[in-house]
Amino acid sequence: MTPGDGKVGILGLGAYVPERVMTNADWGRLVDTTDEWIVARTGIEKRHFAAEDESTADLAVAAARAALADAGLDARDLDEIIVATDTPEVFSPDTAAFVQHLLGARQVPSYDLAGSGCAGFVQALDVACSRVLAGRPDTVLVIGAEVITRLMDWTDRATCVLFGDAAGAAVLGRGAASGEIVAVETGTDGSRTGILGLPIGGTRHPFSLDVARRGLHKQIVMNGREVFKEAVTRMSEASRKVLAKAGRELAEVALVVPHQANLRIISAVAKALETPMDKVFVNVREYGNTGSASVPLALTQARDQGRVKDGDLVLLTSFGAGFHWAAALIQF
């Protein structure tokens, strides 16, 4: 998306977080870790887990309803639905099909943006903007939803303590509305697919009984050192590029809302952007890494807490498996 081609605005925001809380102390009773170890390395203190009877579509629908209510719209006002998730309702069909039905929306185009990891929601914003600007749908619902805790290895102390479940949503439409999406910048480096992901279950490494017995289908691959370097580089570069695309300066940004992977990455991105931490929204302490739900959850909370005011320029920046990255600039 580039500026000058018309306006696409955020009509409403919403989020949903499950009730169940998993603290660092809780994890310490299951794996060899401590609250001190987790906080020192990630900044995470607790995270939320979906209930046994909650699925990805359930979380997505709850966030969507909140966003629709915020926009003053009904589900039948929607012209398109995009769901960004790496933890789908089922292997096929896509999660968006379930969401469309559960919301009571019309039989509008509904589809998933999957595999982008934590960059999924901002990438989906780009797709939604291009669709609206092309004159196809007028009102698009974009959701980031994850139930990561259902698919991860609970015995791997290096990764299990990082993640939580949540969903966030935005309703997009024509005009500036409450917040104009000024520009979006996205990118992918497929040569880095091996540093972050969940490789088992596709055609390259199919699921099998042996895989299940060995628990390989829940083993998240994460090369921490390489992911850190890529995340900081890509998030800061994308941020500068989206500002340049919009003809704006970093000094004009009132608030940076980054993907909440861990506090070290967030702090490093702030440093790379020469931005003080008091201009960066952080909720990773309470929710951990919620994947594609991370950015919309943080943006919704930032607005609800009064951190986003009329006239503010807000920068979203994210990264994910792929290696994907995305940044967006919103003028409230």
Distance between start and end Cα atoms, the chain: 18
- Determine contact, residues 14/70, Cβ cutoff 8 Å: yes
User: Tokens 């970093």 label which residue?
Assistant: 250
Q: Which of 24, 262, 283, 289 is catalytic?
A: 289
Q: Check the CA dihedral 170-173-179-184 and report its sign.
A: positive
Is 223 tagged catalytic?
A: no
- Tokens found for residue 139: 């009102």
Beta strand 179-188 with 196-197 is unpaired
Is 24 tagged catalytic?
A: no
Closest by CA to 55, choosing from 13, 102, 21, is 102
Q: Which of 259, 262, 283, 324 is catalytic?
A: 259
**88 three-class SS:** coil
- Determine contact, residues 313/253, Cβ cutoff 8 Å: yes
Q: Which residues contact 217 (CB under 8 A, 6 or more apart)?
A: 200, 201, 207, 211
Expressed in percent and rounded to 5, the helix, strand and coil fractions of the chain are 40, 25, 35
- Tokens found for residue 181: 């999406």
Q: Which residues contact 305 (CB under 8 A, 6 or more apart)?
A: none
Q: Which of 118, 129, 160, 324 is catalytic?
A: 118
Q: Rg for the chain (alpha carbons), in Å?
A: 19
Give CA–CA dist 83/151, Å, rounded: 18
Is 101 tagged catalytic?
A: no
- Determine contact, residues 295/326, Cβ cutoff 8 Å: no
Give CA–CA dist 138/171, Å, rounded: 10
Query: Catalytic residue positions?
Result: 118, 259, 289
